[in-house]
A and B are shown apart, each in its own frame.
Chain A
Amino acid sequence: MGKSVGIVESKIFHCKDELALVCGKKLSEFDLIYETYGKLNNKKTNAIFIPHALSGNHHIAGKYHKNDKYSGWWDNMVGPAKPIDTNKYFVIGINNLGGNDGSTSAKSINPKTKKVWGSSFPILTVKDWVASQKKLINSLGIEKLYAIVGGSLGGMQAMQWSIDFPDAVEKILCIAAAPSLTAQNIAFNEVARQAILQDDEFYKGNFYQEKTKPKKGLRIARMLGHITYLSNDSMDKKFGRKLIQGKYNYNFQQNYEIESYLNYQGDKFAMTFDANTYLRMTKALDYFDLEKNFKNKLSKVFARIKAKYLVISFSSDWRFPPSRSKEIVKALLDNNINVTYAEIEAETGHDAFLLESEHYHNTVRSYLRS
């Protein structure tokens, strides 16, 4: 259902304001690359911001060229007559600071040294991203977003927005997220980081000058990630024990289809993604902890927020399972916040938030309309 937003193009927001980061460092200026779809109404009350997850970017919907193989990463959700309807809403996608698709990142030039940042690029947190996003939103003349719709790490940014800027957003759609990472989540991230850090081509983060990149590490990191985004059942259904050539090879070449799939995903990712971005994104996830500055009481976190919430989880998501979403719901309830919670039956694991399903999409559509 719904159509594509069609051919789109990115824009650059250049911010000359200094940004003081949670880690203590400062960025004297920065760029954010972004895209918009639909039209901002005269009162500027129909804007929806969609923060991206770990490997996402600002290119949410549509294509850059007619012949592009892929559309934006949430094209099934955003477009004319789609759940986030661009006939009604003005939709904004931003590549996070530190992201590798055109925003200021480790591969940018440090204005002070006139050299590539590389390993010296700071580690950013969700709070830093939100602060930088707010500046871009302000530059568009938008005082209050109608909604922020975020899945996974995007959901974390959405929550942070409602806490840091309670008057600047009306509705939060927090999908397949968590109030913090568990030890298991952090463990997966650490294995992914070690794969990159130990790659000989990483050069301690300064591989740009060496005209190379740590592809091996990135491949392994992405392969591991993919395992955690799917459920055991969905992987079994999709691949099972299917063999590529129908027989055992008795060597270490790829033998099973699941191996081929993971290697393909790993290769694709290693070609396009920046290792410093990946490392920093996983750190932002690890360091995200809503309770940290609120005496470890999640209910205190939401004491001052004004936004309404729709919280969505997926039954087979074991990376950010329904129990974590329920923690968010409980904390919102403790503060008498208007909240609706939907736990959606899906067998596709964490990835379910990116996939099309009727009930899920109708829930999002109805909530935005209500």
Chain B
Amino acid sequence: MNRLDFIKISEWIEPNSKVLDLGCADGALLKYLQSEKMTAGYGIEITPENIEKGIKNKVNIIQMNLEDGLSVFDNQFFDTVILSQTLQAMVNIEKIMDEMKRVAKNIIVSFPNFGYWKNRLQILNGKMPKSSDLPHEWYNTPNIHLCTVKDFYDLCEKKRLIIEDQLFLTENQPIKYFSNLRGSIGIFKLSK
């Protein structure tokens, strides 16, 4: 496993804790956490193909639309809730942030940084950005709520979430300085 985002997220997770992964795709992160940290938990996913893949990955996967909220889970049911590369595709971002606060103690969020310099450069050239993290055309992208790292800080402040730790990656390499400019993905550990 050489995905630095998985490794970092795993560092933030307590062994044997309960984890919820929202928009878990094929369940690869959950599977990794199960083997590294003996976590128990569930993934939520909407696409049928991913349900099949999740089953093959031996993770618990619930087919549900995140936009409908997390009412199947009681308050503070999980130790950690993860929203990995999904925030930008949500319609109602504030609602899911509130729901995450409700169901878990710790929150981990990652998203493609719209402020990454290559994105800025493409805008300067008069085009919507496309990259390996944002591969779609503007007219068919599921990523409808793109934000920069600074924008995300503002939202965290509004939602009274404290940033405990963060990691920025570009092409799976960690970025230490000028991260809102040089990081293509940001991963944040938040607490209430």
Q: Given that A342-B51, A367-B55, A370-B56 are known contacts, is A336 also in contact with B72, CB under 8 Å in the complex?
A: no
Known: A326-B72, A329-B72. A340 touches B54 (CB 8 A): yes
Contact B52 A359 (CB under 8 A): yes
0 or 1 for each of A167-211: is its CB under 8 Å from B? (1 = yes): 000000000000000000000000000000000000000000000
B18, B56, B58, B62, most chain A CB atoms within 10 A: B62
Give how many A-B residue pairs fall within 8 Å (CB-CB).
49
- From 25 to 70 in chain B, residues with beta carbon under 8 angstroms from any chain A beta carbon are 40, 42, 48-49, 51-52, 54-56, 58, 60-64
Closest B-chain residue to A330, C-beta based?
Answer: B72
B73 at the interface (CB under 8 A from A): yes
* A8-38 contact mask (Cβ, 8 Å, vs B): 1 or 0: 0000000000000000000000000000000
Flag if B60 contacts A359 (CB, 8 Å).
Answer: no
Asked if B74 is an interface residue, CB under 8 A from chain A, the answer is: yes
Q: A366: which B residues are within 8 A, CB to CB?
A: 52, 55-56
Q: Do A334 and B74 have beta carbons less than 8 Å apart? A: yes
Q: Which residues of A contact B51 (CB under 8 A)?
A: 340, 342, 363
Instruction: Give min CB distance, B82 to chain A, whole Å.
Output: 17
Contacts of A334 in B (CB 8 A): 74
Is B61 a contact partner of A340 (Cβ separation < 8 A)?
A: yes
Establish whether residues A341 and B52, one from each chain, have CB atoms under 8 Å apart when the complex forms: no
Closest CB in chain B relative to A273 CB, distance in Å: 35
- Pair A344/B62 contact, Cβ less than 8 Å: no
- Interfacial chain A residues near B73, Cβ < 8 Å: 333
Taking CB atoms and an 8 Å cut-off, the chain A residues in 333-370 that contact chain B are 333-334, 336, 338-345, 359, 362-363, 366-367, 369-370
Q: How many residues of A contact B (CB 8 A)?
A: 22
Q: Which residues of A contact B60 (CB under 8 A)?
A: 338-340
Output the nearest chain B residue to A359 by Cβ-Cβ distance.
Answer: B48
Q: Cα distance A185–B77 when bound, in Å?
A: 33
A333 with B42, Cβ < 8 A, contacts A326-B72, A343-B63 known: yes
Q: Is the CB of B72 within 8 A of A333?
A: yes
- Give the contacts of A308-344 with B (CB-CB under 8 A): 310, 326, 329-330, 333-334, 336, 338-344
How far is the CB of B81 from the nearest CB of chain A, in Å?
14
For the complex, give the distance between the alpha carbons of A339 and B59 in Å. Answer: 9
Q: How many angstroms from the CA of A341 to the CA of B42 in the assembled complex?
A: 10
Closest A residue, CB atoms, query B73? A333
Query: Which 7 A-B pairs have CB atoms at the shortest separation, nearest pair first?
Result: A366-B55, A341-B62, A330-B72, A343-B63, A359-B48, A342-B51, A370-B58
Pairs A–B under 8 Å by Cβ, sample size 30: A326-B72, A330-B72, A333-B62, A333-B73, A333-B77, A334-B74, A336-B18, A339-B42, A339-B60, A340-B51, A340-B54, A340-B61, A341-B62, A341-B63, A342-B48, A342-B51, A343-B63, A343-B64, A359-B48, A359-B49, A363-B51, A363-B52, A363-B55, A366-B55, A366-B56, A367-B55, A369-B56, A370-B55, A370-B56, A370-B58
Spell out A's residues near B (CB within 8 Å): 310, 326, 329-330, 333-334, 336, 338-345, 359, 362-363, 366-367, 369-370
- Beyond A333-B72, A366-B55, list 18 extra A-B contacts (CB 8 Å): A310-B55, A326-B72, A338-B60, A340-B54, A340-B61, A341-B61, A341-B62, A341-B63, A341-B64, A342-B48, A343-B64, A344-B48, A345-B48, A359-B49, A363-B52, A367-B55, A370-B55, A370-B58
